[in-house]
Copies of this chain bind each other. A is one copy, B any other.
Amino acid sequence: MAHVSIIGTGNMGQAIASVVSKGGNTVELFGSADKAQQLTGEIVVLAVPYPAVAQVIAERGDQLAGKVVVDITNPLNFETFDSLVVPADGSATAEIAAALPESRVLKAFNTTFAATVASGTVGDAPTTVAIAGDDADAKALLAGVVSAGGLRTFDAGALSRARELEALGFLQLTLAVGEKITWTGGFALV
């Protein structure tokens, strides 16, 4: 049994918490009022918007040492919806991994809208959670929790593939905002 801490109580944090519970694993959710509360999960999901990640790291960096840290962000410029705010050859995940050298950092859940995590379907297809990272054990631990909760997973490769996952998340967000797809749809891996 795995114990998962989720920082962020928005749509994504709640949907991921529900998946964790459904699989028989335990979960604790932290909102912004819970800053003083210690994280106890071996997996910690940073379910906050990209601009809020730096503050979470500043506040909880020490507590994240030794843990599997899951970055779910899409680091878009939300004013223009026309670019990412991370370097073109990098990713939010690479930045987070650099800031947390004692953690095993994974990218996951940035290519699945909250509704598709909650329902288990993207349109009529099953929801598949992409996971990228450099630590095979960490990826297997997260994949186990996610698949126990009823969602498929796929191993997208090394941490460097977070760049492509963020491109995919970016594209998918622009399509949803442009009403070319719905928030219950998107890219399904079949």
Q: How large is the interface on A (under 10, 10 to 19, 20 to 34, 35 or more residues)?
A: 20 to 34
Question: Judging by beta carbons under 8 Å apart, are A168 and B164 in contact?
Answer: yes
CB within 8 Å of B: which A68-108 residues: 82, 87-89
CB within 8 Å of B: which A122-171 residues: 122-125, 154-158, 160-161, 163-165, 167-168, 170-171
CB of A185 closer than 8 Å to a CB of B: yes
Complex contacts, A186 vs chain B, CB 8 Å = 189-190
Q: Which residue of B lies closest to A168 (CB)?
A: B168
Tell me whether chain A's interface is mostly helix, strand or loop, or mixed.
mixed
Q: What's the Cα separation between A123 and B125 when bound, in Å?
A: 10
Which residue of B82, B89, B163, B171 contacts A165 across the interface (Cβ within 8 Å)?
B171
Smallest distance from the beta carbon of A176 to chain B beta carbons, Å?
A: 11
Question: Judging by beta carbons under 8 Å apart, are B189 and A181 in contact?
Answer: yes
Q: What's the Cα separation between A158 and B164 when bound, in Å?
A: 18
CB of A174 closer than 8 Å to a CB of B: yes
Q: Which residue of B lies closest to A130 (CB)?
A: B171
Of residues A155, A164, A185, which shows the largest number of chain B Cβ atoms within 10 Å of its Cβ?
A164
Question: Judging by beta carbons under 8 Å apart, are A157 and B174 in contact?
Answer: yes
Of residues A87, A165, A168, A170, which shows the largest number of chain B Cβ atoms within 10 Å of its Cβ?
A168
CB of A188 closer than 8 Å to a CB of B: yes
CB of A175 closer than 8 Å to a CB of B: yes
Question: Judging by beta carbons under 8 Å apart, are B161 and A164 in contact?
Answer: no
Sampled A-B contacts (7; CB under 8 Å): A87-B88, A122-B190, A123-B125, A124-B125, A154-B175, A156-B174, A187-B189
The 9 closest A-B pairs by CB, nearest first: A123-B190, A167-B167, A88-B89, A88-B88, A164-B171, A164-B167, A187-B187, A188-B188, A185-B190
